[in-house]
Structure 1
């Protein structure tokens, strides 16, 4: 709405009444009620804040025992810090009440450090969306799945454990439907020097071995659980690994929920050129990102306890934007592992797609980033890897933290 009103400063010994001109700006309006008339000092502080942040971004009107707050966009963390400092220095709780009222607004967009309170959801709307989805039959490829909706408990001997062995064999010993979230990054078959793992197999053998493990992963995943895979295609072999894996899991009747681009900001890659230089003969495309493929078993909705949600509103709004800019892991030499992903990546996946106390599995656990992050975020975990060296390092990482 557009605002055209007078500042109502009735108790106005020292403050000049300010005329608010017509603004062609949209605002979100909230009302903050008080049990007493707003004093001149509070109004002067709010006017100063309005001047600092700009009237087109935030402004205040006063009406007896009520403050009307009109919001467009602000850096709320800075605003909150200003309020806390002013309240502490001047023993003024009125300001905190207004700050808390703004903080309680849960619907907003994010742009840089600012919260956008209007216009952030503007997009072309589909008319009769539900009816059209039903006509198209969304995730039709899962038709006929025989997934049980009965979930089971993970046996105690596998709870919060690092297990050394062949994932296919270890997973075959688990009951059906006992894992909430699988997050893993299997060997990419690039020819990297993994401990006790062959990373340059013929592609048919590679996928045969990988999919045998994935079959067990699907079986042990709970109904409503998520199967999330970090993978990078081997572009030099022209093998679209992420597409092949996604196609296989769709054939197994998992629901493809989406894909996240993990932007690694590899600037060396951006400014090199392979293939045919300045020629359409055979230019080689370079990528600075990897893929995160996300699948669900049986249903998109995961049932959980709302009290076990630990993602903040700002985190949620930022992370559902499906391009994450995260620097690569820099400590691979320290752990003697050639292809670790960073803890930040695992943190975002685990907090966005699971609840506290859920069970997180990594069947290619390596040196234990997934299991460490799971424990740090109050999830249960099971990590499996064929390398005894890597399993020892994973255990060391867990024991290095006091929980």
Structure 2
């Protein structure tokens, strides 16, 4: 029977902050992951740092192979902590080779190592995030020389622990990995609504080889099965997080991924409440983990969807501002006014 303990009891470290269903931790994910019990996590959704051209916090002369080796250290621990039915979802951007109009293949090489050489995961399905608001880039090849088009799509990989094909398909009630596209149905198009109403279409074999039955398009399952392409921006500036960062005087995380991505995978790859019959997990409901927490949009979406969550973040400033997602405007005002008042009193002395 799954435990009803709070999710923060899974680690020996003290959380930086907690909410009703989750806990955020400051530190290196490689070390924090080691504190988690084996097979305790139902879903990992994350967006790792990947800006190789600008190096950021990665260190000097950190090349593509170094990046792959670095990431595989995290992946090995993710594999250990994932439940057999769990999933590992990675949103990872591409890059151009420095100084040339040639695409780097580093993320494909990493995927190959994750799924073949290292043998840790299987690629359940690949997804793509199109950001229609992304500025034309890279500027040298797109804006100045005009020899490439804007790079506005990033890859999202849905990985599952490496298991036998038989285990993945023999149990329809409990598939491995856990997944159900009925939880993420979208609204039917106007044409499909009309077809369902009219109940008439041309059946038969299509040039593609598909043979459409006379009743095949009349099934109303409550919505359309989504495809593997997200189209969403990450440029929203009037969200609760944005407003609270401004009110608290904290810097926003510079590279947030849109809420549509974690929301889709949390709903698709973990069951909805109520959890009276939930017996597959470590706790009384699914646990969602983000190992590169950033602004912790994954944790917030998990909480809003009644799942447990954990977030690991190495940067103290990012972690501090991420807590604002879980605080009301009044709570933010009181917390940061009190802190500023205490600082002013200390300065006056």
Tell me the equivalent position of 1:324: 230
> SS state of the match for residue 234, structure 2?
coil
Asked if residue 370 in structure 1 is aligned to residue 235 in structure 2, the reply is: no
Check the 8 A contact 2:26/2:312 in 1, yes or no: yes
CA distance in 2, matches of 1:345, 1:358: 18
Tell me the equivalent position of 2:218: none
| Correspondences of 1:2-401 after superposition (within 5 Å) | 156-158=9-11, 160-190=22-52, 198=59, 201-237=62-98, 238-251=103-116, 252-266=119-133, 268-269=135-136, 274=141, 283-284=147-148, 286-297=150-161, 298=163, 300=168, 301-302=175-176, 311-312=184-185, 314=187, 318=224, 320-331=226-237, 335-356=251-272, 357-400=285-328
Check the 8 A contact 1:261/1:289 in 2, yes or no: yes
Distance change (3 Å), C-alpha of 1:382 and 1:270: closer
Check the 8 A contact 1:187/1:199 in 2, yes or no: no
CA distance in 1, matches of 2:328, 2:223: 32
**Looking at CA atoms only, which structure, 1 or 2, has the larger radius of gyration?**
1
Check the 8 A contact 1:178/1:220 in 2, yes or no: yes
Distance change (3 Å), C-alpha of 1:293 and 1:200: farther
Query: Unpaired runs of 5+ in structure 1?
Result: 1-150
> SS state of the match for residue 25, structure 2?
strand
CA distance in 1, matches of 2:263, 2:134: 24
> SS state of the match for residue 91, structure 2?
strand
Alignment RMSD, CA only?
3.6
CA distance in 2, matches of 1:199, 1:320: 42
TM-score, normalised relative to structure 2:
0.60
Question: Greater relative contact order: 1 or 2 (C-alpha under 8 angstroms, separation 6 or more)?
Answer: 2
> SS state of the match for residue 338, structure 1?
coil
CA distance in 2, matches of 1:285, 1:254: 33
Aligned residues: 245
Check the 8 A contact 2:48/2:92 in 1, yes or no: yes
CA distance in 1, matches of 2:133, 2:255: 15
Report the CA distance between 1:213 and its aligned residue. 0.9
CA distance in 2, matches of 1:319, 1:260: 14
Check the 8 A contact 2:84/2:177 in 1, yes or no: no
Check the 8 A contact 1:329/1:341 in 2, yes or no: no
CA distance in 2, matches of 1:318, 1:261: 19
Report the CA distance between 1:169 and its aligned residue. 0.5
Check the 8 A contact 2:138/2:151 in 1, yes or no: no
Post-superposition CA distance 1:238-293 (Å, at most 9, x none): 32233123212202241211111111114752997827957xxxx44542211111
Post-superposition CA distance 1:176-214 (Å, at most 9, x none): 1111111000001345596x6659733232222211011
CA distance in 1, matches of 2:9, 2:301: 20
TM-score, normalised relative to structure 1:
0.53
Check the 8 A contact 1:192/1:338 in 2, yes or no: no
